[in-house]
Amino acid sequence: MKIKSKKNILWFKEITKKDVALVGGKNASLGEMYSNLKRKGVNIPNGFALTSSAYWYYLKYNKIDKELKKIFNDFNPDSIKSLEKTGKKSRELILKSDFPEDLKKEIVSFYRKISKEYGTENISVAVRSSATAEDLPTASFAGQHETFLNIKKEKNLLYATKQCLASLFNDRAIAYREEKKFNHFKIALSVGVQKMIRSDVGSAGVIFTLDTETGFQNVVLINSIFGVGEMIVKGKITPDQFYVFKPTLKSGFKPIIVKNLGRKNKKYIYKEPFGLKETSVSQKDQFRFSLTDEEVLILAKWACIIEDYYKFPQDIEWAKDGQTGELYIVQSRPETVHSLKQNHFYEEYLVKTSQEPILTGIAVGNKIGSGKVRIINDISKISEFQKGEVLVTRMTDPDWVPIMRMASAIITDEGGKTAHAAIISRELGLPCIVGSRNATKKLKNGRIITVDCSQGLSGRVFEGKIDYKIQRYDVEKLPKLKTKIMVNVGTPEIAFKSSFLPVEGVGLAREEFIINEKIRIHPMALLNFDKLKDNKLKKKIEEITIEHKNKKDFFIKELAEGISQIAAAFWPKPVIVRFSDFKTNEYRNLIGGYLYEPKEENPMMGWRGASRYYDPNFKQAFLMECEAIKRTREIFGLKNVSVMVPFCRTPEEGKKVMDLIQKSGLKNKNDGLKVYVMCEIPSNVILAEKFLEIFDGMSIGSNDLTQLVMGVDRDNAYIQKITDERNEAVKECLSRVIKICREKKKYCGICGQAPSDFPEFAEFLVKEGIESISLNPDTVIKTILALGKKKK
């Protein structure tokens, strides 16, 4: 019997992962999965592969192996013209040659057998290139060589196979090998021929067994479109996106923690007699997901099986047959971007200059950024903003977030360290200066500036681009503290990145950003959608919630997804989710909010927090928040989530809210859910014992507590100089609360801004015996280092 290494063609069942030198990484993986994972339920279409032996045979038979080397004698890798010339000559040499007759007959014979296996004459197949050095952990070769889809009939298969062989000398493939230092003449091209799945009338896409932005490994990311999956590669459309949380998926839960509807207005379908053509997606299909929840979970389970089998993060292609409804895995390779990265370093920005700043203000974060000034005084002008510019404005609100994400830095005239611009900048890791008072008047559009937030509380703006250096810390070598260090998280998008910080969980997960950015609509407008009389308002809501017939479900599911992203990022560590704490003016800014919100002279001290939850005008909206938490814990399995009630003025209010939480089914004796109360009003301090009879502990909100103890408006930059959380009166309040919580053996943490700003304040809290300090992401390492020094 002919040994495997001498064969020109092998069936998938004959191939294992050890055969990379014979069939390349792509085909070796397909053979390995076909042989070993089908029995575990992973559906993989059959096929065969031309081996490296076939490639070398083709070159020697046509006497072109030596000719190729001659072509490369004059190759200059630093010259684009030389690259183009070398590639073209090499491909032409292969394409004008002929198959040896015996190889040609063997290819046809295998094609006829697979057609017979699937009961179709001239079956449609995918013809894919697989280089013998590709899909290694350090070099994927993805997209370097050719793929041909919907190939039917023997002559078309032979032509596509020859094109694949020639694609070993695509210009991009030659350049890639040069970059990776691979020998052009020691790599062969294997050709995989696989039964084509009718995704042209179904859907297809890509799966990663980690988050591609951050490298977070506890999720499966599934991208999905209608039609053949090649459309994703073209970048012409935005696919549907699903994140599935691996640990609880494996425990039997259904944790689709993110579902984002894409912009799928085009797709690829079969073209006759072969190949693909582009066509439009119907309006109806554009507004529905290309996978059902059940299909998402099946694909996620398969992805976990594949990853567990290979013991390495995977980049997987899948397809759904629209005729049979069956799902298939058609390819898997190692993920090569994040899987080898080290995530245990922290970077600190340091600037040295003798220049005097042209502007100062309150610094947010500890980074440095530079770019051209773009002054925007009105939200209607945000389309003028260009990526990489410095956003300069009076102040921001949630409507500004889309361009804030694009900015290199942010400067505002107004606001303090807990203003909207400050909070969002921290979440996004952007340098930001608030309370500058006159940035919009002093700076000029197009001027290049540097925004420096590396010097503590004082933020500085310099003319031009200033040089700086970055200091790196090894997180694994940081000092160990007795006090738990936790992190504050608002936007779900930064949760995966923040999970790499050395923290014990999330001390404050805010709902407000999720409601502002993901939901955008007032919850009562969703509840009363059918009763709304304003047709323009109804149309706007319908456009946002198009995939949900029940608008209440839209709120619950979107909120649950946002919370779950944060909970999944830090699982199994505790995540404390604060129920919504909008003021009336902020709720009023939501779509439809004007119908349900009164105008208050001082919203900061008005109808907010607990007082809203039991009020007949808001109670149903609060119960929707409870439903979102239930979904997070019971359907997604994220039991590490606990909840927190903000701005609870009296113990009586606390009892009313707790009663509602229990009636919602969220808290029962066997559930284990913890319910905390924010300590941010003097009454919380004075009546701490009574509040602790109702709640499982307290989390100190030092921003509001300082404001209400000292009578200092926290949003007024002008009077910030009078006092702050370090004031003796505030510290006396904190000492009392910490002491009582310890005596009652109840949780006591702090999630306010002060420990992030003032290291000495953090030291005070540690000495008082606080259980946990929750910090903004950008100050976690700094604070640990400062506390570690004091410990010594």
Distance CA(187)–CA(175), nearest Å, equals 14
Can you list the positions of beta strands (E) in 387-443? Answer: 390-393, 409-412, 432-434
- Rg over CA atoms, the chain: 30
Residue 532's nearest CA partner among 443, 461, 595, 625 is: 595
- On the CB side of 314, CA atoms within 13 Å amount to 30
Distance CA(414)–CA(436), nearest Å, equals 7
Residue 658's nearest CA partner among 627, 635, 691 is: 691
Q: Which long-range contacts (CB under 8 A, 24 or more apart) does 56-59 make?
A: 56/188, 57/8, 57/100, 57/103, 58/94, 58/97, 58/99, 58/100, 58/103, 58/165, 59/94
Can you list the positions of beta strands (E) in 89-180? Answer: 125-131, 147-151
Query: Do 49 and 35 meet the contact criterion of CB atoms below 8 Å apart?
Result: no
356 phi, psi to nearest 5 deg: -85, 135
Distance CA(179)–CA(628), nearest Å, equals 49
The dihedral formed by the CA atoms of 514, 518, 523 and 526, expressed in degrees to the nearest 10: -160
- Which one is catalytic: 420, 432, 453, 741? 420
Query: Do 695 and 653 meet the contact criterion of CB atoms below 8 Å apart?
Result: no
Residue 515's nearest CA partner among 575, 576, 582, 614 is: 582
Residue 571's nearest CA partner among 489, 640, 633 is: 640
748 is catalytic: no
* DSSP code, position 528: T
522 is catalytic: no
Q: CA dist 458 to 336, 419, 442, Å?
A: 41, 16, 18
Q: CA dist 568 to 216, 246, 345, 616, Å?
A: 10, 9, 22, 33
- On the CB side of 435, CA atoms within 13 Å amount to 21
| Number of Cβ within a 10 Å radius of residue 546 | 13
Q: CA dist 625 to 222, 554, 618, Å?
A: 27, 12, 11
Distance CA(101)–CA(711), nearest Å, equals 92
Catalytic (active-site) positions: 420, 751
